[in-house]
Amino acid sequence: MKASKIILWKNVNGILSADPRIIKNTKTIPYLSYIEAEESGKIIHNKAMQYVKKIKISVEVASISDYSRRTLISANNSKYKGAKIIGFKKGLTMMVVSGDGINEYGFLFEISKILNLLSLNMVLIRNTRDSLQIVVDSKNGNLKKAIRELKKRNCEINASPVNMVTLIGNLDWKTVNIFNNALLKICPDPQIGAFPYKNCVRLEAIVRTNEMEKVMRNFHRIFIK
């Protein structure tokens, strides 16, 4: 339709800095880039976002009761630096895979194939010299079956329930250090900390399920408030 702008009317004050059910003093985020909006979750459907990016249409997420409370999403908003949104993901399981099997050729491919066949989405994967740390979305009930299949591949598996806390924004390497240092102070034994990368827009921490809200509140105070 060659629209110059899209407005999504909501019953909330634009895109908020965190879930108001967990954090009371949330803020309306005034600006987001396309990639920040994509990384922060279900703001705009993935397929719709591809058209928005291709044609470079600005999107406003606005309060239906007060238009002044809105978030502008556009291609030109990458210049706004800093952290903007604290997010989370529940219902995850972290599998620590160890044993002689992990050093065999094609082992990671075999793991990916098993999880894919059982519709278990790999949310995060890290490796050390002697183990693999795999975080999966375990809501569909196939986790136990996956673990049984993986144990047939000459490896040991230790599985535990976890949640993910995310920080979204135009982030630099200094932010990564602050993120991990803060995480260690809040949780003396976090499961996985943030890993920096070029043009960073998303940092992730894997924590125990009972620590998620505490981490979110502290991160919001440190990075947003």
CA dihedral sign of residues 36, 86, 204, 116? negative
Tell me, what's the pLDDT at 77? 65
Give SS3 for 128.
Answer: coil
CATH topology of domain 82-225: VC0802-like (3.30.2130)
Q: Which CATH number applies to 5-80: 3.40.50.300, 1.10.10.10, 3.40.1160.10, 3.40.50.150? A: 3.40.1160.10
The maximal CA–CA distance of the chain, rounded, in angstroms, is 60
Q: Where are the beta strands (DSSP E) in 77-155?
A: 82-98, 122-127, 131-137
Tell me, what's the pLDDT at 130? 84
Identity of the residue numbered 224: I
* The pTM of the whole model exceeds 0.75: yes
**All structural domains of the chain with their residue ranges:** 5-80, 82-225
104 confidence band (pLDDT: 50, 70, 90): confident
What's the mean pLDDT in 127-145?
87
217 confidence band (pLDDT: 50, 70, 90): very high
Mind listing the pLDDT tens digit for each residue in 39-94? Answer: 887 778 888 888 888 988 999 999 999 999 999 999 876 677 899 999 999 999 99
Tell me, what's the pLDDT at 44? 82
Q: DSSP letter at 28?
A: B
Nearest to 56 by CA among 3, 117, 111: 3
Identity of the residue numbered 175: T
Mind listing the pLDDT tens digit for each residue in 6-35? Answer: 999 998 889 999 999 999 899 999 999 999
What's the mean pLDDT in 149-171?
90
Whether pLDDT at 1 is above 90: no
Tell me, what's the pLDDT at 166? 96
Mind listing the pLDDT tens digit for each residue in 168-209? Answer: 999 988 999 999 999 999 998 889 999 888 888 999 999 999
- The kind and range of the H/E element at 176 are helix 173-186
